[in-house]
Chain A
């Protein structure tokens, strides 16, 4: 039964800890979201549950976690819509061969390396209820993801959005995210199909039909939103509510089809009109409550599922080190080599690799799905969360080291020196926005 007092207390504590930790990380020149991710870990069994188990059990009783999870999932559904909204496939086309090669290598390199690592990890960290293919594909998808919003935030904070490096990174990250989510959708279908009564082909057919209807049917209807926005310079509350309803309906469709709620909301965002002012307007309406209230709940819920205590003994820490090494080598190394071969100077190429190595919140979203469908074990989940934190945390200092501001500014055209936005993601003006 819902204990309202406990739930409100939880939300209050989570918000306070997230804001505090986020501010501390801002002082360390890290994006706020990195601090909020750490805050989640601090509130879970890895720290609070370890040093004050009774207080932790009082604050987060097992019976209350379902409500916290439900609230956080609503937040992630809306967040994924906003992520999809910020992605514009046309960005890639502008970048030419370099972007195509770099984005594809930045997916395949970590993916294949993760699959090789799976040969070693599967007999040690999985069990026979999970097929090797599902395990390896999941590891690949989770290592090849790039946190598009965090990356955009870092670029904006360093005034790099208009640079050659910035535009290429944003285009590649968008492709990575879309590809990563498609692969993940396939894995979820595979795993869920094992427990389902309907053939996998019926499920896949349903998903393809749904995607086609969305891309070729619903997308055209959504242009109406942009038309109204242009005419009236805004949207009525009813129109915004209907947009939310469409997001939820799309999420429910993909959940019913056997993938996940988040795919539907992401797809709805991806097919929305991409006129920058319109995108900015929608972000303004939905972002604040999602980023300041609901996403911290997701971080806390993830932290409550992360138990670094499960990673014990030399062997387990070695696995963690290997995971981080492979993730960095595949993503940073792969992107760097590909962009260097495409003609980018070595330091800039290394900077691009560093940016692409940012996994952030997107990684946590994927890992939670993996734990829910039991394709990864709790210990592996904790190791992967550590990898997400390390790779996200390292981005800013490594980038500062490899590509100092002076060097980036030298590659920027004069007009790009002005603050710019990525399809409306005007992040520098919003200290608490877009995780």
Chain B
């Protein structure tokens, strides 16, 4: 082996082979890491929606034909879109299996009496990571309103359809 070739082999081993070995180590170590629970997708609200009518600023949820919560997740943060005719949007965070989000004006828009600007709806829910399809159970409440009764809800995220074809 010439000197040039030997140098090439040494450089290749140090700069290519060694990092690739390191990559395998990283993949092995990383498999034990825990990422936030997945909540991304469309959640269909299953529970009786009539109690929403009694909730301050929540009347629109009771009248919506198909109440769905669309969540777009980025790690621990998520944005939430309540397809309730008002396209109420909010941002929230995930801690463990618990989601919390604040729906604040101007996102919350309702012509109902008492729902003035400044009111904040609080969504708190927990996801069951083992259930299939995944379920979300929580409450929707009005912040800073001791007289307001929180409304419980339950939503499910249908499992993704399996692809056809050879894959």
What residues of chain A have their CB less than 8 Å away from a CB belonging to chain B? 97, 100-101, 104-105, 108-109, 111-112, 115-116, 118-119, 122-133, 136-137, 140, 189, 192-193, 195-198, 202-203, 206, 256-258, 310, 334, 337-338, 341-342, 374, 377-380
**Contact with B36, one of A128, A192, A337, A342 (Cβ below 8 angstroms):** A128
Whole-angstrom CA separation of A431 from B102 in the bound complex: 50
| Contact between B36 and A123, CB atoms less than 8 A apart | yes
The smallest beta-carbon distance between B86 and chain A, in angstroms, is 15
By a CB distance below 8 angstroms, the chain A residues around B164 are: 197
**Contact with B39, one of A112, A127, A202, A256 (Cβ below 8 angstroms):** A127
| Contact between B74 and A378, CB atoms less than 8 A apart | yes
| Contact between A256 and B8, CB atoms less than 8 A apart | no
- Additional A-B contact list (17), CB under 8 Å, known A119-B29, A377-B73: A97-B8, A101-B16, A108-B15, A111-B23, A118-B30, A122-B33, A123-B33, A123-B35, A126-B75, A127-B75, A129-B38, A132-B30, A193-B167, A203-B166, A206-B166, A342-B11, A379-B74
| Contact between B16 and A104, CB atoms less than 8 A apart | yes
**Contact with A116, one of B26, B75, B162 (Cβ below 8 angstroms):** B26
Whole-angstrom CA separation of A206 from B129 in the bound complex: 34
Q: Does B114 contact A (CB under 8 A)?
A: no
**Contact with A133, one of B4, B31, B34 (Cβ below 8 angstroms):** B31
Residue of A nearest to B72 (CB): A378
| Contact between B8 and A101, CB atoms less than 8 A apart | yes
| Contact between B166 and A202, CB atoms less than 8 A apart | yes
| Contact between A108 and B16, CB atoms less than 8 A apart | yes
**Contact with A112, one of B23, B34, B163 (Cβ below 8 angstroms):** B23
> Which B2-31 residues have C-beta < 8 A from chain A?
4-5, 8, 11-12, 15-16, 19-20, 22-23, 26-27, 29-31
With A112-B20, A119-B26, A192-B163: A127-B73 Cβ-Cβ less than 8 Å = yes
Whole-angstrom CA separation of A133 from B16 in the bound complex: 20
Which one of A123, A193, A202, A258 has the greatest number of beta carbons of chain B within 10 Å?
Answer: A123
15 contacts between A and B (CB under 8 A): A101-B15, A104-B16, A105-B15, A108-B20, A109-B15, A112-B26, A119-B26, A124-B76, A128-B35, A189-B167, A195-B162, A196-B167, A202-B166, A337-B15, A377-B75
Whole-angstrom CA separation of A310 from B12 in the bound complex: 41
Task: Type the 1/0 row for B77-117, where 1 means its CB is closer than 8 Å to any CB of A.
Answer: 10100000000000000000000000000000000000000
By a CB distance below 8 angstroms, the chain A residues around B72 are: 378
Q: Does B149 contact A (CB under 8 A)?
A: no
Q: Does B160 contact A (CB under 8 A)?
A: yes
Whole-angstrom CA separation of A112 from B72 in the bound complex: 29
By a CB distance below 8 angstroms, the chain A residues around B163 are: 192, 195-197, 258
Residue pairs across A and B with CB atoms within 8 Å: the count is 138
| Contact between B162 and A197, CB atoms less than 8 A apart | yes
| Contact between B27 and A115, CB atoms less than 8 A apart | yes
| Contact between A133 and B30, CB atoms less than 8 A apart | yes
The smallest beta-carbon distance between B12 and chain A, in angstroms, is 6
Which one of A104, A112, A206, A257 has the greatest number of beta carbons of chain B within 10 Å?
Answer: A112
Q: Does B37 contact A (CB under 8 A)?
A: yes
Q: Dominant SS at the A interface?
A: helix
Q: Does B44 contact A (CB under 8 A)?
A: no
By a CB distance below 8 angstroms, the chain B residues around A108 are: 15-16, 19-20, 23
| Contact between B15 and A122, CB atoms less than 8 A apart | no
| Contact between A125 and B75, CB atoms less than 8 A apart | yes
The smallest beta-carbon distance between B129 and chain A, in angstroms, is 7
The smallest beta-carbon distance between A95 and chain B, in angstroms, is 13
With A195-B160, A196-B162, A256-B166: A122-B11 Cβ-Cβ less than 8 Å = no
Residue of B nearest to A313 (CB): B77
The smallest beta-carbon distance between B67 and chain A, in angstroms, is 19
Whole-angstrom CA separation of A129 from B4 in the bound complex: 48
Residue of B nearest to A140 (CB): B23
Whole-angstrom CA separation of A176 from B34 in the bound complex: 31
Whole-angstrom CA separation of A222 from B19 in the bound complex: 39
By a CB distance below 8 angstroms, the chain A residues around B74 are: 125, 310, 377-380
With A124-B75, A130-B35, A140-B23: A198-B30 Cβ-Cβ less than 8 Å = no
The smallest beta-carbon distance between B75 and chain A, in angstroms, is 4
Q: Does B118 contact A (CB under 8 A)?
A: no
By a CB distance below 8 angstroms, the chain B residues around A137 are: 27
> Which B120-167 residues have C-beta < 8 A from chain A?
129, 160, 162-167
Residue of A nearest to B134 (CB): A129
With A258-B166, A310-B74, A337-B15: A122-B160 Cβ-Cβ less than 8 Å = no
Residue of B nearest to A115 (CB): B26
By a CB distance below 8 angstroms, the chain B residues around A128 are: 34-38, 129
By a CB distance below 8 angstroms, the chain A residues around B8 are: 97, 101
By a CB distance below 8 angstroms, the chain A residues around B29 are: 119
Whole-angstrom CA separation of A211 from B15 in the bound complex: 29
With A108-B15, A108-B19, A127-B38: A132-B31 Cβ-Cβ less than 8 Å = yes
| Contact between B30 and A136, CB atoms less than 8 A apart | yes
Whole-angstrom CA separation of A301 from B22 in the bound complex: 37
Residue of A nearest to B25 (CB): A115
